[in-house]
Structures are given as structure tokens and as C-alpha cells.
Amino acid sequence: MSYLRGESFSNGITAQFSFDPSDEVLKSRIEWLREFCQNKKVVHVGCVDHEIEMVRQKLKRGKWLHAHLMEVSTRVLGVDIDALGIDKLRQEMQIDDLIVADLLVDSCEAIFEDQWDMMLLAEVLEHIGNPVYFLARLRERFSKVADEFIITVPNAFAEEIFKGARSGVEMINSDHRFWFTPYTISKICIDAGLTPTHITLCRNGVIKRRSVIKNRRLRQHPLIRNNIIVRAKLSVETT
């Protein structure tokens, strides 16, 4: 913990991970988030998912996260800076519990008018130029109305990333600024004044049950799964 806090330094620290029985369970990011958000009140940050056409495609394949959250949560408020995308969701999907907002500066009355179990930032942080400032600002603004953050980010250790690298190829979303590891996303959280409480390694996407050998490998080696879920308190651990 002293390394994460910056109290100690090493240019070659070895982070040894301890796994519990749940880490042997191979689930998708959506499956885990459905479980975490079951019967909870959730603020879903970045609900538009880049553009409305991507939402349409994901809906057809049962992969649009916001739809899953609406199925399991007590309430889910969708938030996005994309005004056109929010308008399309209202018109095409008949979803009313949505707001257009820049969470860093806008008033966000709909958030402050309720108490939330969690603020979900799914596949958001890798698009942000200064993730520490972004998280710190959200903590400062919403710590009184949200109990915890759930953050999901792409895993730099993902098996497919190393396969591409061996062929001289980097496969990446063109809008991404960062890859993360369990250590680096934890350090970012702590720098932002958050306390990580649990890390889950999972698959971002549908798990193909027929891929028996690959799935066995992913069960045995959680660190090569392609997504990280972090649950974090909106306060700094002092002990």
C-alpha cells in the first residue's frame, strides 16, 4: 500500500496478486455489472456509448450495457455529454431517465436530488486525458450523494494484446489514451482520493462457451482477461 500511496519507491516492484475462488469464475463485464448493480440505484456515466449507431448494433446483440442496467437496477440515471445521443435515446428507445451533462462543471440537479448506491464509469477513463483529475473532481462533487464508484477499464495484460504485439500490431480504440493494469488503475484511484476495495478481472464481450481451451486458459490465468473492474470508496483509507 505504501507504494500505491507514493510513500515508498521502487523502479522494479513485483506486484504479487492473491486470487480468491470468485476469480476462477469466467464472466463477462456485463454479467459482473448486472450482479453488482442488482437492486441498486446507479448513475451510469457515458451511457450513449460513442454514437447512436453503436447503441443500435449492441442492442441487437444484447450487448448494450445501459439496457442491462435498466433490467436489474432499482433506478439507473444515464448521463452523457453527447446531447444528440441523449436526444436519440429518448426518441428511439423511449428512455426518460437521462441527462446531458459535463459532470465536472454542470449543475447536475438530477444527481443531487437523490442518493445513489454507485456511480458507474464503464469504459470511460481510458478516453480521459487526465484521469486522476477527472476522478478527483467527481469525488469532490458527488461524495455526499454516491456511496462508491465502479470503474471498468481495458487491461494491458490482455492475451490478445500480446498476440498482436508479437506480430508488430497494436489493436486499440482510436480514442483511447491509456491501457491499465490492476496496479496502475489502483494507483490512479488512490491519487484521486479514492480507496479501491475490490478488483475483478473479466472479459469485455460475450464469452463463447464453445471456446473450451481458451476459456480454460482464461479461468486459470485471470490477469490475461481483457477487462478490469474496480470498486472504490469515495474516501481515502487512513490506516
Q: CA–CA distance from 77 to each of 54, 97, 115, 157, 200 (Å)?
A: 20, 5, 12, 32, 24
pLDDT attached to residue 236: 54
Rounded CA gap, 142 and 80, in Å?
Answer: 16
Please state the pTM of the whole predicted model.
0.92
Please report which residue ranges of 117-181 form alpha helices under DSSP H: 131-142, 159-166
- Please compute, for residue 92, the number of CA atoms within 13 A of its CA located in the half-sphere on the CB side: 12
Local structure of residue 28 (DSSP, 8 states):
B
Q: Is the dihedral of CA 222, 223, 227, 232 positive or negative?
A: positive
pLDDT attached to residue 23: 86
Please report which residue ranges of the chain form alpha helices under DSSP H: 2-5, 29-37, 52-60, 65-72, 83-93, 109-112, 131-142, 159-166, 182-191, 212-220
Local structure of residue 18 (DSSP, 8 states):
P
Cβ-in-10-Å burial (0-12, 13-18, 19+) of 28 comes to: middle
pLDDT attached to residue 239: 44
Q: What is the bridge-based pairing of β-strands 195-202 and 227-233?
A: antiparallel
Q: Comparing C-alpha atoms, which of 102, 115, 130, 111 is closest to residue 191?
A: 130
Domains of the chain: 21-233 (3.40.50.150)
Residues 204 and 154: beta-carbon distance below 8 Å: yes
- Please compute, for residue 158, the number of CA atoms within 13 A of its CA located in the half-sphere on the CB side: 19
In order along its 239 residues, the chain shows pLDDT tens digits of 787 888 888 888 888 888 888 888 899 999 999 999 999 999 999 999 877 888 888 888 888 999 999 999 999 999 999 999 999 999 988 999 999 999 999 999 999 999 999 999 999 999 999 999 999 999 999 999 999 999 999 999 999 999 999 999 998 989 999 999 999 999 999 999 999 999 999 999 888 888 899 999 999 999 999 999 999 998 655 44
Q: Comparing C-alpha atoms, which of 50, 42, 103, 48 is closest to residue 69?
A: 42
First to last CA, the chain: 10
